[in-house]
Chain A
Amino acid sequence: NAGVTQTPKFQVLKTGQSMTLQCAQDMNHEYMSWYRQDPGMGLRLIHYSVGAGITDQGEVPNGYNVSRSTTEDFPLRLLSAAPSQTSVYFCASSSGLKRPQHFGDGTRLSIL
């Protein structure tokens, strides 16, 4: 059982470049989310989705875009990378209200 799979594991970008972080889950979870984790700041919610075709903004959405065309996949797009977006990005999914979120192992992104 793969759970939540994130690719790539590491990425280095130059300022202004765009890229897509991939997230896939095989648990048939309706809820999926993207977080960034920075030292001393904990996990902060970027965007989330409660089902295919439905997405919404979290705490820190600026500079990021998401879409949810299938239950399994929830990609995160950086439109024009900035050094402030250097972080570790985690994708998570959940089976519903009051249920735990299950996390992937993250994408470590550096913007030069």
Chain B
Amino acid sequence: EDQVTQSPEALRLQEGESSSLNCSYTVSGLRGLFWYRQDPGKGPEFLFTLYSAGEEKEKERLKATLTKKESFLHITAPKPEDSATYLCAVQAANYGQNFVFGPGTRLSVLP
């Protein structure tokens, strides 16, 4: 069965303490892996798309990487404003344009 999992479920960091979030997937024919940020009371906000193993994307303190089985979202020297829930989603050959989302990682960055 196709599946997308994320770990950890929740993560608390001190400001400036770098870490990584994981998104593991088991799908056939990956078309793209998408990272989103979701703030409380808001809809998911698009961050990155990764299409093939070895690809990397960066934006400010965030860097996303992709292998054949998982993706990492690295957060370097986080600030309190990076606190949010981070979601990953995959689009695969079986799903057309549909996404399958992971359950998310809730990140808290303490000052």
- Nearest 9 interchain pairs by C-beta: A103-B43, A42-B103, A43-B101, A100-B46, A42-B101, A105-B43, A31-B97, A98-B32, A103-B44
**A40 touches which one: B41, B43, B103 (CB < 8 A)?**
B103
Is the C-beta of A71 less than 8 angstroms from some C-beta in chain B? no
User: How many A residues, CB 8 Å from partner?
Assistant: 27
Q: Are A43 and B87 in contact (CB under 8 A)?
A: yes
Residues on B with beta carbons closer than 8 Å to the beta carbon of A100: 34, 46, 49
Q: Name A's B-contacting residues (CB within 8 A).
A: 4, 31, 33, 35, 40-45, 48, 50, 58, 90, 92, 94, 96-106
**A102 touches which one: B41, B46, B96, B98 (CB < 8 A)?**
B46
Q: Name B's A-contacting residues (CB within 8 A).
A: 31-32, 34, 36, 41-46, 49, 51, 87, 89, 91, 96-99, 101-104
Residues on A with beta carbons closer than 8 Å to the beta carbon of B97: 31, 48, 50, 94, 96-97
Residues on A with beta carbons closer than 8 Å to the beta carbon of B102: 42
Residues on B with beta carbons closer than 8 Å to the beta carbon of A42: 87, 101-104
Selected A-B contacts with CB under 8 Å, 13 pairs: A4-B43, A41-B103, A42-B104, A43-B44, A45-B98, A45-B99, A48-B97, A98-B31, A101-B89, A103-B44, A105-B42, A106-B41, A106-B42
Tell me the number of A-to-B contacts counted with CB atoms below 8 Å.
58
CA A48 – CA B98 in complex, angstroms?
A: 8
Residue of A nearest to B42 (CB): A105
Residues on B with beta carbons closer than 8 Å to the beta carbon of A94: 97
CA A35 – CA B36 in complex, angstroms?
A: 15
Question: What is the CB-to-nearest-CB distance from A42 to chain B, in angstroms, rounded to a whole number?
Answer: 4
Residue of B nearest to A90 (CB): B43
Q: Are B44 and A90 in contact (CB under 8 A)?
A: yes
